[in-house]
């Protein structure tokens, strides 16, 4: 019940409004106005305006959050999705919003469809990002809680495997591993005896032996190069002979296949 509802006793004073006008701001309808109430005389065409009651011609519109709408249904639903990504925006939230509509749903996107298409990736599932289990509790290592985007906010590229990865080069490597039937895990935490930890791009197995595959992509960036030099020395110290490396370039596919064939 809104204030203009004649049954709303709390706002009886509003019923004293005798007239009001609704003007359209659309460029094509700037001169179009609807008048309600008494004493408006004639419209633009010279027609006399009939007397109408305010409370019978005005209905307030509301916008509510998807969370607030859960459990409710509406004939027509308009979903507004901003361009800026948010950790609250997930495929489950979109599903909830869409299923509120009984007749028609309209999705309004800011600028482009990138945010919407990203919600189709499994990595955008809020359920998959929850660190819990119905049958067993397996907490994440504390170190991972301080790694930005660990929960796959940047993993948007699909592969032939179950994993979504961060770069097109990693897509090539992952798909080659699948095609050659090489078992692997993407970004599995690797701990050294001293307790330090890094995330190898791929942890692979050849002939029962475990290796760690790193794809080095942006050595042109000083921070990236410095981080890689630290990481490479860490592998040499803690896992000698277990590091496999590919570099960004036009020969990536050939180099990756040479590694696979050389270890199978």
pLDDT digits 0-9 by tens, 43-75: 667 665 555 555 555 555 578 888 888 888 888
pLDDT digits 0-9 by tens, 68-123: 888 888 888 889 888 776 777 888 888 999 999 999 999 988 877 777 877 776 66
pLDDT digits 0-9 by tens, 196-225: 889 999 999 999 999 999 999 888 899 989
- pLDDT of 256 higher than 90: yes
Q: Around Cβ 168, how many Cβ atoms within 10 Å?
A: 11
Domain 156-263: which CATH class? alpha beta
Q: Which residues of 78-110 are buried (b: 16+ CB within 10 A; e: fewer)?
A: ebebeeeeeeebbbebbeebeebbeeeeeeeee
Which two three-digit tokens encode residue 75? Answer: 């004939």
Which parts of 82-161 are beta strand (E)? 101-109, 157-158
Q: How far apart are the first and last CA of the chain?
A: 72
Nearest to 100 by CA among 76, 63, 71, 73: 73
Q: Structure pTM?
A: 0.49
Which two three-digit tokens encode residue 33? Answer: 């106005």
Q: Is residue 56 helix, strand or coil?
A: helix
Q: How do the domains of the chain map onto residue ranges?
A: 9-56, 66-124, 156-263
């Amino acid at each position: 019940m809104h204030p203009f509802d004649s049954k709303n006793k709390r706002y009886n004073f509003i019923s004293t409004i005798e007239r009001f006008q609704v003007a359209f701001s659309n460029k094509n309808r700037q001169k179009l106005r609807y008048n309600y109430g008494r004493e408006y005389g004639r419209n633009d065409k010279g027609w006399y305006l009939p007397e109408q009651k305010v409370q019978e011609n005005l209905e307030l519109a509301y916008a509510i959050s998807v969370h607030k709408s859960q459990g409710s249904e509406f004939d027509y639903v308009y979903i507004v999705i901003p361009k800026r990504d948010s950790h609250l925006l997930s495929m489950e939230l979109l599903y909830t919003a869409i299923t509120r509509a009984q007749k028609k749903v309209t999705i309004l996107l800011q600028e482009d469809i990138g945010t919407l298409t990203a919600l189709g990736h499994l990595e955008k599932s809020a359920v998959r990002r929850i660190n819990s289990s119905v049958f067993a509790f397996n907490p994440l290592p504390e170190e991972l809680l301080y790694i930005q985007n660990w929960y796959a906010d940047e993993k948007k590229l699909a592969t032939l495997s179950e994993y979504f990865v961060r770069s097109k080069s990693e897509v090539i490597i992952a798909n080659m591993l699948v095609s050659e039937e090489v078992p692997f895990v993407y970004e599995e935490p690797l701990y050294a005896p001293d307790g330090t930890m890094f995330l190898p791009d791929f942890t692979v197995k050849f002939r029962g032996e475990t290796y760690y595959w790193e794809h080095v992509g942006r050595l042109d960036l000083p921070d990236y190069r410095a981080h890689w030099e630290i990481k490479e020395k860490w592998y040499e110290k803690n896992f000698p002979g277990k590091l496999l490396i590919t570099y960004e370039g036009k020969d990536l596919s050939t180099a990756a296949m040479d590694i696979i064939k050389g270890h199978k």
